[in-house]
Amino acid sequence: MSEDTVAVLSEITLRYGNNLALDDLTLEIPARRMVGLIGPDGVGKSSLLALIAGARRIQSGRIQVLGADMSDATQRRLTGPRIAYMPQGLGKNLYPTLSVRENLEFFGRLFGQDGQERDRRIRELTASTGLEQFTERPAGKLSGGMKQKLGLCCALIHDPDLLILDEPTTGVDPLSRSQFWELISRIRQQRPQMSVIVATAYMDEAQGFDWLIAMDAGVILDRGEPGALLERTLCNSLEAAFVQLLPEEKRRGHVELEIPPRQTDTEVAIEAHGLTKRFGDFTAVDHVDFRIERGEIFGFLGSNGCGKSTTMKMLTGLLSFEEGEASLFGQPVDPRDIETRRRVGYMSQAFSLYGELTVRQNIDLHARLFQLSPQRHATRRQQLLEQFDLGDVADQLPGSLPLGIRQRLSLAVAVLHEPEILILDEPTSGVDPVARDGFWSLLVRMSREDSVTIFISTHFMNEALRCDRISLMHAGRVLDSDTPQALMAKRGHDDLEETFIEYLKEASDTPEPPTATNGEIVVVPASDTASESAPPRFSWRRLSSYARRESMELRRDPIRATLALAGTLILMFIIGYGINMDVENLSFAVLDRDQTTTSQNYTLNLSGSRYFSEKAPLQSYDEMDERLQRGEISLAVEIPPRFGRDLKRGDSPEVAFWVDGAMPSRAQTITGYVQGIHTAYLQQLAREAGSDTAQPVDVALRYRYNPDVQSLPAMVPAVIPLLLMMIPAMLTALGVVREKELGSIINFYVTPVTRLEFLIGKQLPYVAMGMVNFLLLVLLSIFVFDVPVKGSLLVLGVGALLYVLCATGLGLLISALLNSQIAAVFGTAIATLVPAIQFSGLLHPVSTLEGAATVVGHLYPTSHFLTISRGVFSKSLGMFELWPYFLALAITIPVLTLASLAGLKKQEK
């Protein structure tokens, strides 16, 4: 690889199932340049970038980045820290509950920076991006543009030599967008040795890049400098050049969009007066007025977070509003009005269709929910698949499709029932230019031919120009509202973007970040040694970075923490008081066929015992059957006729007992009691007869460890292990899986953090939480339940620590193996409830188990800790007697960790 290339790809092929994403692709990417990757949606741009970044596993072919072979784990580990990757999607790799500073610190630690260095870098980066005033604000509460800036800061914190940005400005407003690119160019001035690869849907952005790669259908169409590309295609705009580059069949049907003039219609479709929405102290939408005529295309422009989406949601009835009024077709907006919903089509900003249904199934579901007739359903489906070019992907899952195609599907679903009003929230974000034109021709046709009213928000200026009228919005207020031409005329510009930015700057209270204009030094090169030296194989700092982050997220979710702590205490109460092996008040009835004082005397023995309570006497066998079956009595006693007489004669009469065996353990207990009471009766008889030899042997019972045979002292030491298994395991189980489902797992793929650091980092906060739980449980048992710890608290504590490590390790294992949160919840419930309650000796000693349960019982950590807990609590045993159980726990920990390591992949498949 020469000095002048940053990445060399040869014969790269990538498949998702049967779909070819990249087809035998070979490419050299020049170093120290700003390289743009352009192409329609779903041609493999993101896949290509993920491969270069090392986030995705290479299936076939070779990729060299900065001289390192990306299929080699060691080389990837050494080179990884020189690459920064910012995935597609607003703030996808950020942690919404963490503040700006905490997000940055997290990444800084992952790259092994110490506190001083981190502070310096964070200061510089936030100063240069204008995030200074917002360092304490949670990332989830930032506007889209600020999220992207923060994402960039996170990517730049370790001075990468290669910066990979996947559609960084998609969904970002024009002002933030221009600030973003200014920032990048300043950074490049500071670090000329840095190479940048950007995928973008904005051709005006791409125009300014040094070198471009045009892609389609997994192959490279052309590459070179923008000027050269224009020359080759004989076009004067990149947008046109790109269309020119597409293969014949894709170009077909692409015509310059023409918008016929609108027939004015005086009927008002959407109207709002003084519409206001507040979230707490924050006014999201502040007295907004507008009036949209039927058939009009009304555009909504504004910075991110200015209240566009909120306004749209209020019109659809999704959000209630505090003040003002809104009406559709003259009817006030009413969330309960089902009929109006049929006349409105809405597309939200974030993809909100079902990722688990195929494209076709999503369309079908909505057609059915809108009650389309079967014929119309079939025609509409066919039409939509064609119009939105979804035919090829009809049987694929949206989750695996690129953003642009997902947006098309959302739009298709929004227009499916041919609504009269369309409310579209940034429908074209992330959609390629050709497809966008397709969208618009459809919108125009609906507006002009079918008089559909279209209320649309967008960040694309060329789309805004196509609207009949537009509103400029900022900080919850409408700045101005008119035709695009009139607005430009008011400011004396012939460019809408400049007009818009001028409006925004004027309205914006916060002054421009000082550095944004003067372009002063923003990024100081890192001390070279730090970035050049290879990252260590194991780093406490990286580990603690994940541990800190996880614990911060736990702290920011007070409900979860409270549930975990209060929950254990509540459960302890419930089980401690609820389970009692000392069964009392068992109901029985007597069929006394003798009816003498002797027989009644016998019955008294039973009814006088605290274990039994007598019900109305039985009259017949049928009644006995019936009442046993109904479960009204669990014991029936039959005293035979002539019982008294036979007894006197010494004929040894037989009293019959029928026990309800439906619940065997209860039946056993009843049998035991009956035998005891019967024996007592015999002794009584013997005493009356003046002899004491009725029972030649007296079995002297000594209940050890719990002489009064109370349930609580027996239950408490057993419930602690049960609860310390379930709660920590459940907490941990969602740790990894949640990142997988929500997307932030990408940080694990592309930063130097190792699998071990990641896993242990995730585990530690929950171990700490588990130990707090343990402490609470012990305090509860000592002070509330009055069950003292007879042995050493320290020994018990050490055991608890090992045990909690096992429990959280088990949770992590489940989390590493499964891919959905719901499966993790269910899996944890299965893996903890049954073995911990039934196989671990809580009720039945492990030695009494049979079959598979024995194996589980002997291996499952709860059994060992149960022995330790009972030993220390009730028998005051110490380490000397209990060491084998400690050893078993200690062995379990690394076994679980190794299994999790094996189940967790450092790259996306």
List 711, 772, 792, 858, residue binding another protein (CB under 8 A):
711
Question: Rounded to an integer, what distance in angstroms lies between the CA atom of residue 141 and that of residue 376?
Answer: 43
List 165, 213, 403, 849, residue binding another protein (CB under 8 A):
849
Nearest to 414 by CA among 366, 345, 368, 359: 345
How many CB atoms are located within 10 Å of the residue 520 CB? 11
Question: Least distance (Å) from another protein to the CB of residue 543?
Answer: 22
- Sheet containing 331-332: which strands, arranged edge to edge? 282-293, 268-279, 323-328, 331-332
By CB under 8 A, tell whether 600 contacts another protein: no
By CB under 8 A, tell whether 867 contacts another protein: yes
Q: Closer CB to another protein, residue 250 or residue 360?
A: 360
For residue 899, what are its two tokens? 């299994």
Question: Least distance (Å) from another protein to the CB of residue 860?
Answer: 12
Q: Closer CB to another protein, residue 308 or residue 366?
A: 366
Q: Closer CB to another protein, residue 255 or residue 699?
A: 699
User: Within 317-373, where are the H helices?
Assistant: 338-343, 359-369
Question: Rounded to an integer, what distance in angstroms lies between the CA atom of residue 609 and that of residue 585?
Answer: 9
How many residues line the site for another protein (CB under 8 A)? 158
Residues sharing a CB contact under 8 Å with residue 842, sequence separation 6 or more, in sequence order: 718, 719, 721, 722, 836, 862, 866
By CB under 8 A, tell whether 560 contacts another protein: yes
Q: Closer CB to another protein, residue 526 or residue 722?
A: 722
User: Cα 480 to chain center, whole Å?
Assistant: 40
Question: Least distance (Å) from another protein to the CB of residue 814?
Answer: 10
Nearest to 803 by CA among 706, 716, 887: 887
User: Cα 525 to chain center, whole Å?
Assistant: 36
- Contact between residue 36 and residue 206 where contact means Cβ atoms under 8 Å apart: yes
Question: Rounded to an integer, what distance in angstroms lies between the CA atom of residue 557 and that of residue 381?
Answer: 43
List 492, 652, 690, 909, residue binding another protein (CB under 8 A):
652
In which residue are the tokens 């029928």 written? 658
The residues in 630-649 that bind another protein, with binding defined as CB under 8 A, are 630-631, 647
By CB under 8 A, tell whether 86 contacts another protein: no
By CB under 8 A, tell whether 678 contacts another protein: yes
By CB under 8 A, tell whether 190 contacts another protein: no
Nearest to 104 by CA among 154, 155, 160, 139: 154
| Three-class DSSP category at 278 | strand
Pairing of strands 421-425, 453-457: parallel
For residue 191, the surrounding DSSP H or E stretch is: none
By CB under 8 A, tell whether 212 contacts another protein: no
By CB under 8 A, tell whether 39 contacts another protein: no
For residue 107, what are its two tokens? 């990444």
Question: Least distance (Å) from another protein to the CB of residue 438?
Answer: 23
By CB under 8 A, tell whether 577 contacts another protein: yes
List 228, 369, 378, 775, residue binding another protein (CB under 8 A):
369
Nearest to 411 by CA among 433, 396, 432, 426: 426
Q: Closer CB to another protein, residue 677 or residue 782?
A: 677
By CB under 8 A, tell whether 453 contacts another protein: no
By CB under 8 A, tell whether 378 contacts another protein: no
By CB under 8 A, tell whether 274 contacts another protein: no
By CB under 8 A, tell whether 329 contacts another protein: no
Q: What is the DSSP letter of 782?
A: I
List 26, 331, 580, 597, residue binding another protein (CB under 8 A):
580
By CB under 8 A, tell whether 11 contacts another protein: no
Q: Closer CB to another protein, residue 237 or residue 597?
A: 597
Nearest to 455 by CA among 489, 434, 481: 481
The residues in 500-529 that bind another protein, with binding defined as CB under 8 A, are none
List 141, 493, 556, 844, residue binding another protein (CB under 8 A):
844
Nearest to 217 by CA among 60, 38, 21: 21
Nearest to 411 by CA among 420, 423, 402, 399: 423
List 660, 747, 760, 773, residue binding another protein (CB under 8 A):
660
x-marked contacts with another protein along 741-770 as a string, rule CB under 8 A: xx----------------------------
By CB under 8 A, tell whether 586 contacts another protein: yes
Stretch in the footprint of another protein (CB under 8 A) among 184-192, 504-512, 729-737, 795-803: 729-737
x-marked contacts with another protein along 394-433 as a string, rule CB under 8 A: ---x------------------------------------
- Sheet containing 5-16: which strands, arranged edge to edge? 19-30, 5-16, 60-65, 68-69
Q: Closer CB to another protein, residue 74 or residue 580?
A: 580
By CB under 8 A, tell whether 671 contacts another protein: yes
Instruction: Please list the residues that pair with 7 across neighbouring strands.
Output: 29, 65
By CB under 8 A, tell whether 672 contacts another protein: yes
| Three-class DSSP category at 476 | coil
Q: Closer CB to another protein, residue 812 or residue 849?
A: 849
Instruction: Please work out, in degrees rounded to the nearest 5, the angle formed at the alpha carbon of residue 71 by the alpha carbons of 70 and 76.
Output: 45
List 20, 257, 442, 667, residue binding another protein (CB under 8 A):
667
By CB under 8 A, tell whether 373 contacts another protein: no
List 663, 887, 891, 902, residue binding another protein (CB under 8 A):
663
Question: Least distance (Å) from another protein to the CB of residue 300?
Answer: 17
By CB under 8 A, tell whether 712 contacts another protein: no
User: Cα 770 to chain center, whole Å?
Assistant: 22
By CB under 8 A, tell whether 7 contacts another protein: no
List 267, 629, 687, 788, residue binding another protein (CB under 8 A):
629
Strands (E), 492-646: 586-592, 612-614, 635-639
List 461, 507, 579, 901, residue binding another protein (CB under 8 A):
579
Question: Rounded to an integer, what distance in angstroms lies between the CA atom of residue 792 and that of residue 872?
Answer: 7
By CB under 8 A, tell whether 67 contacts another protein: no
Question: Rounded to an integer, what distance in angstroms lies between the CA atom of residue 809 and that of residue 733?
Answer: 9
Q: Closer CB to another protein, residue 302 or residue 717?
A: 717
List 58, 442, 829, 879, residue binding another protein (CB under 8 A):
829
The number of C-alpha atoms within 13 Å of 330 and in the hemisphere containing its C-beta is: 4
x-marked contacts with another protein along 680-709 as a string, rule CB under 8 A: -xx--x------xxxxxxxxxxxxxxxx-x
By CB under 8 A, tell whether 375 contacts another protein: no
Backbone CA torsion sign across 808, 809, 814, 820? positive
